[in-house]
């Protein structure tokens, strides 16, 4: 039987799906990434350092149900199924659930050492030094066989070809790498021939970059007399040397770019400064020339200055001479104006007072009791001058006095009759 590629891959996939439909596997996460779609991809490898590894995928729905954030070096248990990714014919484990099984041994060691050095203040921003703004020479500590050195030299040649580069070769991976890196760092500080150091290496797994988590090397980086820029791995890789260095760069190329400013950009700044200085000098010379021309013009015609000052003196003398007469004239005008106002105000005031007096007299006449008596009313009292206004003040046989408009009358009470209120 002759198989097509797709048919064979599909057959193998069906066989694996039937045989490994639901399995649980444990291992350490490496190279974890989350795509824009929400799917997550990573490699699962044995925690004991064995070489076996398995490509894994956990799709968006299952990833959204996780109760933790998967990360580099974590030891996990995954339940899922073995499948074949048919477009590439690759074996992969499709995870349906995941839970933490403890941190990986190296990652756990990394976290413990990080916490201890952080508590000592080794990573504090206050102890970090500023890098030289315009370095004349830079030192590079890395492997001569790695791509990191090529990336750094290429970036510096492109950006700052005038900067001298001194390479301090060292191993950057393996058990002997920490000691080699310490020797290179000590040599660079002892020779003191560069303005700053670049400690760089390309990307790799946590094990590959472990030399840069060595406690002795981390302390040496923090104590270096020369400023250190650390660019180890990719942007997502973080080592303890990154935290202890004066500046962390995401990649070796970025370390070179941060260490030395671009020669072209600095030349452009110099050109801009030169043009600005030229404009300012030209403007200052123009202003000085104008002042000089005005001064020369005044010196060339002193008679005009004298004539102008003479005219000014004549004008002031004329104003002084006219000032008393003018003031007398103004005061006379003011007196005439006040006299005219007084002539108008007195008759008007008298007329106003007359009208007010007539009004008061009319109100007083209206209140005169005699006028009330003339309308048929009478004033009644008890003969002693006490006014009577109610029958309760009367008794039969009492003598009274009534005052009318044209005289008085003596009266005697015969009977009293109260007024019946109307309904």
3-state secondary structure of 203: coil
**What architecture does CATH give domain 136-261?**
3-Layer(aba) Sandwich (3.40)
CATH of domain 5-103: 2.40.50.140
CA distance 116 to 114: 6
Domain residue spans in the chain?
A: 5-103, 136-261, 263-305, 372-412
C-alpha separations of 404 from 370, 390, 393, 399 in Å: 9, 19, 20, 17
Residue 378 burial class via C-beta count within 10 angstroms: exposed 0-12, middle 13-18, buried 19 and up = middle
| pLDDT value, residue 326 | 75
| pLDDT value, residue 245 | 94
Distinct helix (H) and strand (E) counts, the chain: 11, 13
Ranges under pLDDT 50 in the chain: 103
Contact criterion met (CB below 8 Å) for 77 and 56: no
| pLDDT value, residue 103 | 47
Contact criterion met (CB below 8 Å) for 135 and 237: no
What DSSP string describes 243-279? HHSSEE-SSHHHHHHHHS--HHHHHHHHHHHHHHHHH
| pLDDT value, residue 48 | 67
Which segments of 355-417 are extended strands (E)? 379-381, 399-404, 407-412
């Amino acid at each position: 039987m002759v198989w097509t590629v797709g048919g064979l891959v599909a057959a193998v996939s069906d066989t694996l799906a039937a045989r490994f439909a639901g399995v649980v596997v444990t291992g350490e996460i490496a190279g974890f990434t989350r795509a824009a779609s929400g799917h997550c991809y990573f490699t699962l490898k044995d925690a004991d350092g064995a070489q076996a590894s398995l490509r894994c995928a956990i799709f968006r729905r299952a990833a959204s149900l996780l109760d933790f954030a998967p990360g580099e070096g974590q030891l996990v248990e995954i339940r899922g199924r073995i499948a074949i990714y048919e477009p590439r014919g690759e074996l992969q484990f499709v995870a349906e659930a995941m839970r933490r099984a403890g941190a990986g041994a190296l990652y756990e060691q990394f976290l413990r050492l990080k916490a201890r050095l952080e508590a000592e203040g080794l990573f504090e921003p206050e102890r970090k030094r500023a890098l030289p703004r315009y370095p004349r020479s830079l030192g590079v500590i890395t492997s001569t066989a790695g791509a990191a050195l090529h990336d750094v030299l290429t970036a510096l040649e492109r950006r700052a070809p005038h900067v001298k580069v001194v390479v301090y070769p060292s191993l950057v991976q393996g058990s002997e790498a920490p000691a080699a890196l310490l020797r290179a760092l000590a040599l660079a500080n002892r020779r003191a021939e560069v303005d700053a150091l670049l400690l760089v290496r390309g990307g790799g797994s946590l094990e590959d970059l472990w030399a840069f988590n060595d406690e002795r090397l981390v302390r040496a980086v923090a104590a270096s007399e020369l400023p250190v820029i650390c660019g180890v791995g990719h942007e997502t890789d973080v080592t303890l040397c990154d935290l202890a260095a004066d500046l962390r760069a995401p990649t070796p190329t970025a370390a070179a770019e941060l260490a030395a400013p671009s020669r072209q950009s600095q030349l452009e700044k110099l050109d801009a400064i030169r043009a600005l200085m030229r404009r300012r000098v030209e403007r200052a010379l123009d202003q000085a020339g104008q002042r000089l021309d005005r001064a020369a013009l005044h010196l060339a015609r002193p008679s005009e200055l004298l004539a102008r000052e003479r005219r000014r003196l004549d004008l002031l003398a004329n104003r002084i001479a006219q000032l008393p007469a003018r003031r007398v004239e103004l005061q006379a005008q003011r007196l005439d104006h006040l006299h005219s106002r007084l002539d108008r105000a007195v008759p008007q005031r008298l007329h106003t007072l007359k009208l007010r007096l007539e009004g008061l007299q009319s109100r007083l006449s209206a209140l005169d009791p005699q006028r009330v008596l003339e309308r048929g009313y009478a004033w009644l009292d008890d003969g002693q001058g006490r006014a009577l206004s109610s029958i309760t003040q009367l008794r039969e046989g009492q003598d009274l006095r009534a005052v009318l408009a044209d005289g008085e009358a003596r009266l005697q009470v015969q009977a009293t009759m109260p007024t019946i209120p109307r309904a």
